[in-house]
């Protein structure tokens, strides 16, 4: 049988435990609930901001539109560049001209005999579109912001190509020299990160790869509307390990 004073000590500890732990559990629960509520509010704010930026700029107040841009930038891990923010002030996130898809590739230009970054457009509309400009947007480390005036017609119900800039100028703008200094070789440009299996076969499995992301903003119009398309692109590099 335990001594009375020892038993009393355990009882006191139990009481203290209840007194301390119960409020602590309540506090943690409240904090968790508040965090969930705050997260829900943040999501609602982002949804509202996206809805605002889907509208044409002339149909939304410029201060409301700026709030929407600031809100998206606040909760985005990858911050919008100054050029991207300016584009969102003038153009909706979702194009007002539907049925347009863009892609990029790098091919040798027969006129200049250089490898050139080319914009490929797939126009599923009954009306031609005109590519006014294309802006290359790198990350903050590269500081690349290069706007190219294009002025090319993309015909209806067809695919068209517009040369943008040389591969050399693109790599220089995106500060890809660091990768080439490390022994990486440019492989391809894609809309998503990729692994070129042909290099894997060539190297017998001894290789590493890197993807250098950047963004492209295409400004275009048809006879009655203007629109823009902002999308991410990746330069794919590989390093053969002998």
pLDDT digits (tens, 9 = 90+) for 159-181: 999 999 999 999 999 988 888 88
Q: Which of 77, 92, 120 is the endpoint of a domain?
A: 77
Query: Under a CB-based contact definition with an 8 Å cutoff, are residues 134 and 217 in contact?
Result: yes
What pLDDT, on the 0 to 100 scale, is given for residue 71?
82
Domain that holds residue 197: 100-240
Query: Domain check: are 60 and 168 in the same one?
Result: no
What pLDDT, on the 0 to 100 scale, is given for residue 117?
94
pLDDT digits (tens, 9 = 90+) for 118-136: 999 999 989 999 999 999 9
Query: Domain check: are 70 and 165 in the same one?
Result: no
Q: Which of 38, 62, 77 is the endpoint of a domain?
A: 77
pLDDT digits (tens, 9 = 90+) for 1-47: 545 554 455 555 555 555 555 565 555 556 545 554 665 666 677 77
Query: Domain check: are 72 and 110 in the same one?
Result: no
Q: pLDDT-based confidence at 153, cuts 50/70/90?
A: very high
Query: Domain check: are 46 and 105 in the same one?
Result: no
* Residue 230 domain flag: yes
**Helix, strand, coil tally for the chain in percent (to 5):** 40, 35, 25
* Residue 192 domain flag: yes
Q: How many folded domains does the chain comprise?
A: 2
* Residue 113 domain flag: yes
Query: Domain check: are 194 and 115 in the same one?
Result: yes
| Cα of 198 vs its chain's centroid, Å | 27
Query: Domain check: are 232 and 154 in the same one?
Result: yes
Burial class (CB in 10 A: 0-12, 13-18, 19+), 65: buried
What pLDDT, on the 0 to 100 scale, is given for residue 125?
87
Q: pLDDT-based confidence at 239, cuts 50/70/90?
A: confident
CATH value at residue 197: 2.60.40
* Residue 212 domain flag: yes
Quick one: which of 98, 91, 105, 70 has its CA closest to 186? 105
Q: pLDDT-based confidence at 148, cuts 50/70/90?
A: very high
* Residue 88 domain flag: no
* Residue 90 domain flag: no
What pLDDT, on the 0 to 100 scale, is given for residue 195?
59
Query: Domain check: are 65 and 105 in the same one?
Result: no
Query: Domain check: are 216 and 175 in the same one?
Result: yes
Query: Domain check: are 112 and 31 in the same one?
Result: no
* Residue 93 domain flag: no
pLDDT at 77 over 60: no
Query: Domain check: are 121 and 70 in the same one?
Result: no
* Residue 94 domain flag: no
Query: Domain check: are 64 and 111 in the same one?
Result: no
SS3 242: coil
What pLDDT, on the 0 to 100 scale, is given for residue 159?
94
Q: Which two tokens stand for residue 168?
A: 């050399």
Query: Domain check: are 14 and 48 in the same one?
Result: yes
- Among 45-54, 109-118, 191-200, top mean pLDDT goes to 109-118
69 against 91, higher pLDDT: 69
What pLDDT, on the 0 to 100 scale, is given for residue 32?
45
Q: Could you give the strand order of the β-sheet that contains 115-123, starting from the edge strand earlier in sequence?
A: 100-108, 115-123, 158-166
Q: What is the CA radius of gyration of the chain?
A: 27
pLDDT at 198 over 60: no
Which ranges constitute the DSSP H helices of the chain? 4-53, 62-75, 82-90, 167-173, 177-181, 197-203
Dist. CA 218–CA 91, nearest whole Å = 11
């Amino acid at each position: 049988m335990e001594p009375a004073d020892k038993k009393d000590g355990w009882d006191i500890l139990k009481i203290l435990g209840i007194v301390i732990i119960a409020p602590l559990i309540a506090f943690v629960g409240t904090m968790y609930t508040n965090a969930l509520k705050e997260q829900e509010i943040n999501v609602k704010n982002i949804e509202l901001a996206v809805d605002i930026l889907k509208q044409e700029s002339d149909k939304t107040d410029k201060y409301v539109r700026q709030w929407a841009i600031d809100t998206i930038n606040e909760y985005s891990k990858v911050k919008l560049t100054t050029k991207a923010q300016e584009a969102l002030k003038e153009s909706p996130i979702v194009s007002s001209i539907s049925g347009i898809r863009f892609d990029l590739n790098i091919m040798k230009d027969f006129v200049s005999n250089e490898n050139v970054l080319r914009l490929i457009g797939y126009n599923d509309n009954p009306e031609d579109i005109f590519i006014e400009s294309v802006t290359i947007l790198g990350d903050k480390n590269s500081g690349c912001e290069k706007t190219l005036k294009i002025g090319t017609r993309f015909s209806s119900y067809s695919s068209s190509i517009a040369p943008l800039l040389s591969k050399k100028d693109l790599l220089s703008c995106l500060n890809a020299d660091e990768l080439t200094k490390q022994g990486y070789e440019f492989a391809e440009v894609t809309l998503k990160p990729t692994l070129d299996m042909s290099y894997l076969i060539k190297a017998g499995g001894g290789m590493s790869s890197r993807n250098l992301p950047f963004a492209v903003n295409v400004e275009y119009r048809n006879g009655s509307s203007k629109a823009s398309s902002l999308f991410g692109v990746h330069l794919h590099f590989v390093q053969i390990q002998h």
